[in-house]
Amino acid sequence: MLSSFVATQSSSDLPLSASLKMGGEEHKRFLTVAPFECAWREELRFREAGRGCVAFEAFAHNDVTLVFREQVGSQNYHYKMDNSPNYTVILGSHRNRRLKIEVDGKTVVDAAGVGLCCSSAFQSYWVSVYDGLISIGKGRHPFQNLVFQWLDSKPNCNVQYVGLSSWDKHVGYRNINVLPLTQHHHSLWSQIDFRECEEMGDSDEAWVDLADEHAEWGLANFLENWDFSDVYFVAGDNNKAVPAHKVILGASGDFPFTYTGENIIRLPSTTYPVLRAFLEYIYVGRTKILESQLSPLGELSLRFQVSSLAKKCDEIIGRFKTNKKLFDSGTKVEITSSGSQVRQHAILPHELPIDVEKLKQFFVTGEHSDLNIYIEGHGLIARSHKVILSLWSVPFAKMFTNGMIESNSSNVTFRDVPAEAFAVMLQFMYSGEIEADSVEIGSSIIPLLLLADQFGITPLQRECCRCILECLTEDSVCPILQAVSSIASCKLLEETCKRSFAMHFDYCTTASTEFLLLDGETFKDILQHADLTVTSEEKVLDAILLWCMQASEICGWVAIDDLLGSSTTEQVFKDRLSFIDIFLPSVRFPLMPLQLLQKLKQSNLCNIFPIFDQLVTEAIQFAGIGMVMPVNNHNVRLHHRRSSFKELQYICDGDNNGVIYYAGTSYGKHQWVNPVLSKKIDVTASSPTSRYTDAKALVSRTYQATLYAGPRIQDGHICAWWMIDIGEGHQLMCNYYTLRQDGSNTYPRSWALQGSMNMENWTTLRVHDNDQKICRPGQFASWAVQGPSALLPFRFFRVILTGPTVDDSSPWNLCICFIELYGYFH
């Protein structure tokens, strides 16, 4: 299939450099990258460093590779030899079997079965980078088919150039679009022309630049603008009046109104073109001026201590004196600020000579303020500047210029807004960043996000979303979903939360009733999510019935079925009754045990709801006749979920049903061998490896006379622990575990079982306080793990001694020679 594609490229056998030299517009639609090469184009560049999305179609048998760098690479560049900072995303790695993400050459993601492998025909993909959050999906519209996400804990916010690369085979690319992440990104992406192109003669343009479709709003809009002006210059012999803003000028240099309080600055010897260039440099970050006007511009800059402009003028004048051929007589010289102290946002698109620390000080002191902000019930909360608020927010600008009372008043009162979040929003508008520790997840960050949406402050929305994504947990996902489902520009965050909910479905639907507050469309998307992870389909049925009846407490379908025996459906489900028919097909009844299906067949639910009876009957027929599932069967109810867990159930002490034994059989593929020796799991102890601290002995399933983890000081406390790593890509919802005492009399009394995904943040699954159960050498003992924590999946588990043992001679030795974990394994 690849050869047929190459045949359509008239120069397919040429190296990449030759392919790029083909005439006409053909190279814009089709691009063939030879093995071990990389294509770089000026168009393949994010408009804002660290933030952008590339959508494209690719054709290859393996290794469709995208490289994101701070600088353009060469044709012979290859990511394997790159020493510069970069992100590399590889679709179809390991011979079309895996997805890989590399950071600076180090693999950070190596995932199998995520549905991103390439095929023998063109397929559509998209990859976005947003402050270290890499999102990957399939399809023609970004974020509509999100497949995988990864967040870099130390993000590279400077990557800007996109390279299209390959491994050992040719890769074909077409319909490549580099898109900005803007407030309007959801509408922009739906407008992209993704028409299929099968012939080289098609004249449609594939390299689409959408950056100019929306006018930029920034400080340049206030250049020579009388709106909010509180000072003006009088320039030249003709006394031309030029408006400005004290807060902007004061943050850029040293002007006389700072100590005189006057609102007029007279410049009789300065011409208007020089003054215009001076203000343009301050408001826009760049200007153009005639060479003959450089000296007066430099003098004006020195007078008002705009040091960066004065230095630029001196440098250019010096180069001109050295070599007059550098400048043509009568042409204008461009001067650009290069030392910005303001982080670039969409609202500040160019580097400005503004001192952010001065801006922040003006906010604190209220100097040059023309606006007092009150919040009902809280009084005066800030003395601000209309131009700064209008700079960030078009709604604020309209409020102050629409001719209503706020336009002519220096006081404005807001009602029904959270005071704390509003204050943080104002701080952001003066600094361009959320102050550290100023917001917390679940307290101010959600109200702050809603305020950012209300006032159209897109950069603040982005920062809020980034903070939320960094702190996202199973406990916070529901309130976040409730808040962002109405914000169209938070699609990325919404999709991430839906995926997190789906992957922790059991926990999110049993730990609390918060999920009952989700709207119907959001809950439907979760139920139909490709990554929905459940321990049983009965859990899905329970969640649907609970949501529909808006239950006050968690219960199972049996309790609801009993309630239907004495109440009408309208009384039980109220205004959500119609959702029963919509949601029930999301339950994969054929995956339920036949005994449960027969019990459901006799229920009131089957008698009352025809669709319930139809789905249960279909499942019983499927199970009863032992149907073999056709390979091409499109009925999703007959397919196991992609991310379903395997149940490993505790039967008795020392049985062969736990995850450690299962790993020793290579997950059911062959006879058992020690899983540490076969490198299926990893075991570590709190003390160094020795004769009596042996990782492989702990999982050897043989009695050990002496085996212990010794004490260590951790976080200022003495402890001892054994830790089990069940392997990359594996997770366990632990609901039972077994220990065995070694041959000593050092019996533990106070300890805990903990789980983690990263070995840094540990969740306590069960606490033992003065537990007397272990009282003989060589004794087995087992305990259940109950509550919501039993529904959380973890990769790492540890048994940690939290108090001394009964042996005074070695009170902090954890002496066990066997451990086994049970639950739902993925």
**Residue 195: CATH number of its domain:** 2.60.120.560
In a domain, 406, yes or no: no
Residues 319 and 233 in one domain: yes
In a domain, 500, yes or no: no
**pLDDT > 50? residue 551:** yes
- If you search the block for the tokens 């709190």, which residue do you land on? 686
In a domain, 419, yes or no: no
For 317-370, write each residue's pLDDT tens digit: 888 777 666 555 567 888 887 643 433 343 443 357 888 888 889 999 999 999
Residues 631 and 676 in one domain: no
172-186, 227-241, 626-640, 678-692: the lowest-pLDDT one: 626-640
In a domain, 560, yes or no: yes
Q: Is 94 exposed, middle or buried (0-12, 13-18, 19+ CB in 10 A)?
A: middle
In a domain, 108, yes or no: yes
Residues 87 and 201 in one domain: yes
In a domain, 127, yes or no: yes
Residues 153 and 138 in one domain: yes
For 276-289, write each residue's pLDDT tens digit: 999 999 988 889 98
The residue among 357, 376, 410 that closes a domain is 357
Residues 662 and 735 in one domain: yes
Q: At what angle do helices 445-454 and 419-431 cross, to 10 degrees?
A: 70
Residues 626 and 667 in one domain: no
**pLDDT > 50? residue 15:** no
In a domain, 590, yes or no: yes
What value does the mean pLDDT take over residues 552-557? 91
Residues 774 and 698 in one domain: yes
**pLDDT > 50? residue 139:** yes
pLDDT for res 300: 94
Residue range(s) defining the domain that contains residue 812: 646-825
Q: What Å distances lie between residue 655 and 652, 700, 782, CA to CA?
A: 6, 13, 11
Residues 753, 762: contact at Cβ < 8 Å?
no
pLDDT for res 330: 63
The span from the CA of 404 to the CA of 416, in Å, is 20
Residues 47 and 121 in one domain: yes
**pLDDT > 60? residue 426:** yes
The residue among 357, 375, 407 that closes a domain is 357
Which CATH number do you get for residue 350?
3.30.710.10
Percent of the chain exceeding pLDDT 90 equals 41
Residues 799 and 698 in one domain: yes
The span from the CA of 460 to the CA of 449, in Å, is 7
Residues 718 and 569 in one domain: no
Residues 799 and 651 in one domain: yes
In a domain, 400, yes or no: no
pTM equals: 0.62
The span from the CA of 592 to the CA of 590, in Å, is 5
Of residues 352 and 187, more confidence is placed in 352
Residues 163 and 201 in one domain: yes
DSSP class of 434: P
| Residue 82: CB atoms within 10 Å | 18
**pLDDT > 50? residue 3:** no
The residue among 177, 211, 245 that closes a domain is 211
For 463-488, write each residue's pLDDT tens digit: 888 888 878 888 889 989 988 888 87
- Number of domains comprising the chain: 4
